[in-house]
Amino acid sequence: MSLFELKDVSYQYAAATRPALDRITLNVEEGALFAVLGPNGSGKSTLLRVMLGELETSAGSVTYAGRSSASWGRREIATQIAFVPQAEPMAFPMTVRALVEMGRYPHTGILGRMGADDRIAVDGAMERAGIADLGSRSIRNLSGGERQRVRIARALAQEPRILVLDEPTAALDLHFEMETFELMRELTEERSFTVVVATHNLNLAARYASRLALLARGHIEAIGAPEDVITADKIGRVYRWPVLVTSLEEQGSGVESPQVVPLSGGAASALS
């Protein structure tokens, strides 16, 4: 079943001279790990916000679970979809646990009391995100990577069906980047979550995602399985840099994923 269906969706910011999204048509199936790729400014964040119903499209239709996304109430949608935005100010001095508890608002209401279920959800979310021992720390004194995991925990505490993440691994070292991709895979494969993730890590997207959409200047340049999207021609063209695409077999699995190696020196200068 398609959870998200976008048909001919365009979006233009008030101040902009060209659309940030230009006639996007795509479906996200339930249980998919769907990766949104594309250079800076290609429309990834805008696409996620349109899917979440945060931005109203200027043309086309967006449906979530068969219903127009605009017809979902904010709190109703928050029980279904959790969003981890690219960056957010964390100015208030509060503990990690208090921030993760905010993920329960759609269930408890803003002034609602935390019940036993809520506490279990918060504990479980902190465990999964690998921050169980950070609960009493102030969110102001965390490293970039810790902060990012706290935000993922807050989203999991929401107990959604769908997790939408905007460049969740941008601040993470190799270990936590891998853990984040492993977590996204586990959520989709073992817990029938649907995950939509915007990322610049083409190689991990190719290994972990079931479907990829490659954006370029607001339109879809390619969409499909990793081997259909991650080609030297498409990646080289969209990112304006020559690349080699090799293939990596996951140990003993027989599954091969395309992997991008950007070229340097002479090969790169031949570009201009």
Interface pick for ligand ADP out of 24, 26, 46, 236 (rule CB under 6 A): 46
Q: By C-beta, is 44 or 97 nearer to Mg ion? A: 44
Q: By C-beta, is 118 or 167 nearer to Mg ion? A: 167
CB of residue 43 vs Mg ion: minimum separation in angstroms?
8
Residue type at 31 in one-letter notation: G
Residue 231 lies near Mg ion (rule: CB under 5 A):
no
Residue 16 lies near ligand ADP (rule: CB under 6 A):
yes
Q: By C-beta, is 49 or 104 nearer to ligand ADP? A: 49
CB environment 112-136: b (16+ within 10 A), e (fewer): eeeeeebeebbeebbebbbbeebbe
Residue 10 lies near ligand ADP (rule: CB under 6 A):
no
CB of residue 52 vs ligand ADP: minimum separation in angstroms?
13
Residue 35 lies near ligand ADP (rule: CB under 6 A):
no
Site for Mg ion in 26-45 (CB under 5 A): 44-45
The number of residues in the chain equals 272
Choose the contact partner of 13 out of ligand ADP, Mg ion, none; CB within 5 to 8 A by kind: ligand ADP
Q: What is the largest CA-CA distance in the chain?
A: 63
CB of residue 120 vs Mg ion: minimum separation in angstroms?
33
174-183, long-range: CB < 8 A, 24+ apart: 176/130, 176/145, 176/148, 176/149, 177/201, 177/204, 178/204, 179/130, 180/152, 181/207, 181/208, 183/128, 183/129, 183/152
CB of residue 256 vs ligand ADP: minimum separation in angstroms?
28
Where does this chain touch ligand ADP (CB under 6 A) — which range of 39-47, 67-75, 95-103, 170-178? Answer: 39-47
Gyration radius (Cα) of the chain, Å: 19
Q: By C-beta, is 46 or 169 nearer to ligand ADP? A: 46
Which helix (H) or strand (E) is 58 found in, with range? none
Residue 169 lies near ligand ADP (rule: CB under 6 A):
no
Q: By C-beta, is 87 or 120 nearer to ligand ADP? A: 87
Residue spans of beta strands (DSSP E) within 137-235: 162-166, 194-198, 211-216, 219-224
Residue 63: how many CB atoms within 10 A of its CB?
18
Residue 43 lies near ligand ADP (rule: CB under 6 A):
yes
Residues that bind ligand ADP (CB under 6 A): 13, 15-16, 20, 38, 40-46
Residues that bind Mg ion (CB under 5 A): 44-45
